[in-house]
Every structure is written in C-alpha cells, then in structure tokens.
C-alpha cells in the first residue's frame, strides 16, 4: 500500500478511492511554462489524449469545449485496466426480497460506467436458497443501475475450499457461483474474486484471486490473476433534495464516506510508528502499551494479536483511545500537518452530518402527531418521485409496502435521534419539511 496522505479504506483493509480524490489534478511546479497545446494539429492532440490517465482526461473534459468531446469519449471507453468502479453490496443487494433500487451514486454517471466491482458479503450464503430467482433479480438491478456495464467482478466470496473443485466433483458453494454467473446477461463478462487468507501483512490491501467461469456444461473455472489488487474508485455521490428521505440518505452516504476517510487516517497514523522509527525501534501506537520491536514483522503480529491496530474509530466514546491517537513524534512536519488538517476537516464534516441527522429526527415528530403524519406523507411522495421502487413482476404495485420497507430501515435511527437531540444547542437544526 502506498504512503498516500489521502488514503481511504473500508473495514476489511480494502483501499477505496473516492471519486473526488481520483480525479484530483496532480500538483505541479508554479514555474511550469505554458504550452500552446490547442495550437497543435488535431491528430497530434488525439495522440496525446491516448496517453493520458483517467484523472487527466476528466480534467480535460471540464477545461473547455475544444477538449471536451475527444476526452469524454476516451474517458468513458474505460480502457484503464488498473481501475474499477466500486459498488458496495447494499446498493443492489440490500433490498433483494423486493424490487427496490437504492442508488447512492449520481445516476447519469452510473449509467455510463462499463466496469464495476460489486462487493457482496458471503455470496454463497445469501444466494443459497432460491438461487436462480435471486440471481435473475440481482442482474436485473445491475442492468437497471449500470445499463452500459460490460464487465463485472463479484467480490465477497469466502467458500470453505480455497479454489474451485475438479470438474467431476460437486461443491454447493461453487454451484451457487456458477448459477449466479450463468444468469448474467450474455453481454456482461463476469469474474469471481476470492479473498486470500490469512493476511497478516497490513502494509497493503488484501489481494484477491480473480477467476472467470466459462458458461457451458460443465462450467469451467479459469484463473485470470492470482493476485488481483486493482484501484477501486467510488463514483460521485448522488445529490438528494431537502426532504425527509433525501436528508436521511444524504446523511447515510456521507457517514459511510467519512468512515472510509477516517479509517485511512487511522492507518496512516499507525503506519507512521514503523515508517519513521528511530534507531530501528518500533513502538506500539496504543497509548498504554510500552511494547517495542526491532522487526517490522514482530510489530505487525503484535498489532494483529492485540487488536492495537484495529481501533474502532466509529466508537465515539470518551474511553476510546483511537480518539487520542496521533502521528508518531518523528513523522516529518509537513506530513503530520497534512494528516492533522485532514483530520480536522473530517471532524467538521462529522458535526455537519450530525446536524443533518438532528433535522431528520426533529422532523419525525411524536407518534400520532400531525407532524408525524405530514412527515410520512412527504417521505412516501419522495420515494415515488425518486423512483426508488419498481414493482416485482406478476405481483403488482404495493404503495404501502414500498414505504414500510424504507421506514423500517431508518425508524429506529430517527426515533433515537428525536429522543437525544432535544437540547438547546440543537435548536438551529429545527427545520421543518412541510411549512
């Protein structure tokens, strides 16, 4: 894993690159001379564009009308083999029993994506019953959310066998994978990525072995990459209007992105203790742990076995030592300041997101009140307006059902918020949706 001061990670140590970091232009010396690029013949310009990476093409798409058309075409052809757009499991899979579509990403952007990694948790467990029905519903949602997709990698597979069985043997888990792949549209190339275990080296993201299942009788498993570790990019977030549903979903997706950011900061701070160790003596980052190590492997084993490298920054309690963690004292000043500035920025975003949560909580209102009734009506109308529900074939439409499922998703959240935020400092958050 590179020493990236904008590092973002999920809780499985998988590096996730938010889109705004992915397309952020690289810094350049201020003394760089301007070159009259647009005066070159168009054929030479096109040759230059073909050598540009995705972030550069994205910036050129937004520079001027003279560069937009050619660079846009190259950007969306998605010829960059080292990056895949990352889709978490709840986006397509959380509402599998009902045909809901919760798209957290910008729809216009998602509609043009051609390569996507869909991170499902324990595929072999979730698809174990009614495999074919669930698989068809899953791929229908994939096509609805990503209509231009041509390549899909499914991660989150952890079967008991570390590799596919011989053709003459039947394994239930792998039979589920084969059915899932067999139900995919023929235009979509599907690969399965198995996470490699065990993984004690936390200096890099956990790799996967990438396999393709050829369709046929019997299916044939072929390995594409034994150590698949691509750049995973999250598409830009969807913008929701100010409404009970919009504020809740905005808060939810913001909180997840902040967790990725804070997890990355956590790893940078912990890593600084080994990266900038003095005289080869590596200290444990845990405040009350006096252990020191001469070998990096010993230090990594200690972090893994003691859980001192797995501080849960989501626990916002006073006794959480992670809240007090800082970079090692010998970290270069410019790096330490950059990490601390990023930490302060994220703490501000946490506060802003908490204010949004309080607004939803106060809008919920007491049970049986006119305020609650208006809130629910506004919520239902927003579900319909945003087309978050598509009727299941042959079952017809169920307006009450579409609300009940989403209501169950956040009812506890808004009730808790309403009970805990009735304090003077939260008065500024009292914004009603139905004045």
pLDDT value at residue 310: 62
- Give the phi and the psi of residue 9 in degrees, each rounded to 5: -140, 150
Q: Are residues 300 and 208 in the same domain?
A: no
Q: Are residues 370 and 434 in the same domain?
A: yes
DSSP-based three-state secondary structure for 20: helix
Among the residue ranges 160-174, 177-191, 259-273, 414-428, the one predicted with the least confidence is 414-428
Q: Which residue has the higher pLDDT, 342 or 161?
A: 342
Q: Which residue has the higher pLDDT, 204 or 242?
A: 242
> Does the structure show a pLDDT above 90 at 250?
no
| Pair of tokens at residue 332 | 């270069």
Q: Are residues 284 and 222 in the same domain?
A: no
Q: Are residues 272 and 388 in the same domain?
A: yes
What is the CB neighbour count within 10 angstroms for residue 84?
A: 22
- CA–CA dist 70, 65 (Å, integer): 10
Of 349, 197, 195, 199, which Cα lies nearest the Cα of 265?
349
pLDDT value at residue 398: 52
pLDDT value at residue 410: 56
Domain final residue, candidates 183, 208, 239: 239
Q: List pLDDT tens digits, range 257-280.
A: 898 998 899 889 999 999 999 999
Domain final residue, candidates 182, 207, 239: 239
CB neighbours of 131 closer than 8 A, spacing ≥ 6? 176, 179, 180
> Does the structure show a pLDDT above 70 at 106?
yes
Domain ranges, residue 309: 240-435
Q: Are residues 302 and 430 in the same domain?
A: yes
pTM for the predicted model, two decimal places = 0.79
Q: Are residues 290 and 347 in the same domain?
A: yes
pLDDT value at residue 426: 44
pLDDT value at residue 141: 83
Q: Are residues 101 and 182 in the same domain?
A: yes
Among the residue ranges 27-36, 57-66, 182-191, 278-287, the one predicted with the least confidence is 27-36
pLDDT value at residue 334: 93
Q: Which residue has the higher pLDDT, 89 or 111?
A: 111
Establish if 253 belongs to a structural domain. Answer: yes
> Does the structure show a pLDDT above 60 at 353?
yes
Establish if 1 belongs to a structural domain. Answer: no
Q: Are residues 264 and 151 in the same domain?
A: no
Of the pLDDT bands very low, low, confident and very high (cuts 50, 70, 90), residue 34 is low
Q: Are residues 125 and 175 in the same domain?
A: yes
Domain final residue, candidates 239, 254, 289: 239
Find which of 33-42, 105-114, 332-341 is predicted with most confidence, using mean pLDDT. Answer: 332-341
pLDDT value at residue 315: 41
Q: Which residue has the higher pLDDT, 22 or 200?
A: 22
Q: Are residues 187 and 277 in the same domain?
A: no
Q: Are residues 228 and 260 in the same domain?
A: no
Establish if 31 belongs to a structural domain. Answer: no
Q: What is the mean pLDDT of the chain?
A: 78
End-to-end CA, the chain: 51
Q: Are residues 220 and 252 in the same domain?
A: no
Of the pLDDT bands very low, low, confident and very high (cuts 50, 70, 90), residue 332 is very high
């Amino acid at each position: 894993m590179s020493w990236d001061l904008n590092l973002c990670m999920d809780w499985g140590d998988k590096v996730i690159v938010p889109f705004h970091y992915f397309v952020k232009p690289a810094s350049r010396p201020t003394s760089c001379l301007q070159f009259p690029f647009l005066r070159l013949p168009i054929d030479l310009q096109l040759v230059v564009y073909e050598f540009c990476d995705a972030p550069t093409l994205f910036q050129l798409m937004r520079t001027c009308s003279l560069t937009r058309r050619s660079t846009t075409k190259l950007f969306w052809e998605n010829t960059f083999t080292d990056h895949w757009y990352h889709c978490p499991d709840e986006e397509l899979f959380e509402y599998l029993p009902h045909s809901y579509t919760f798209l957290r990403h910008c729809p216009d952007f998602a509609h043009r994506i051609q390569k996507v990694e869909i991170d499902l948790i324990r595929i072999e467990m979730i698809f174990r019953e009614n495999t074919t029905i669930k698989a068809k519903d899953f791929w229908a949602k994939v096509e609805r959310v990503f209509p231009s997709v041509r390549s899909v990698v499914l991660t989150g597979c952890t079967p008991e066998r570390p590799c596919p069985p011989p053709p003459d043997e039947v394994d239930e888990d792998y039979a589920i994978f084969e059915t899932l792949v067999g139900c995919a549209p023929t235009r979509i190339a599907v690969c399965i990525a198995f996470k490699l275990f065990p993984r004690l080296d936390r200096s890099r993201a956990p790799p996967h072995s990438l396999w393709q299942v050829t369709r046929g009788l019997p299916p044939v498993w072929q390995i594409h990459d034994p150590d698949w570790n691509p750049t995973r990019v999250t598409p830009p977030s969807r913008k929701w209007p100010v409404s009970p549903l919009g504020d809740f979903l905005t808060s939810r997706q913001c909180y997840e992105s902040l967790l990725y950011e804070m997890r990355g900061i956590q790893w940078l701070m912990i890593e600084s203790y080994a990266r900038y160790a003095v005289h080869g003596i590596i200290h444990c980052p845990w405040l009350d742990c006096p252990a020191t190590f001469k070998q990096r492997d010993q230090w990594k084993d200690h972090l893994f076995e003691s859980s001192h490298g797995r501080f849960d920054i989501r626990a916002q309690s006073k006794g959480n030592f992670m809240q007090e963690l800082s970079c090692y004292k010998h970290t270069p000043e410019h790096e330490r300041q950059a990490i601390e500035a990023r930490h302060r920025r994220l703490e501000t975003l946490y506060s802003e997101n908490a204010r949004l949560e309080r607004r939803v909580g106060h809008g919920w209102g007491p049970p049986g009140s006119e305020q609650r009734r208006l809130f629910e009506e506004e919520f239902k109308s927003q579900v319909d307006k945003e087309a978050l529900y598509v009727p299941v074939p042959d079952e017809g439409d169920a307006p009450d059902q579409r609300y009940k499922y989403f209501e169950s998703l956040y009812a506890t959240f808004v009730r808790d918020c309403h009970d805990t935020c009735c304090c003077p400092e939260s008065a500024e958050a009292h914004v009603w949706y139905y004045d």
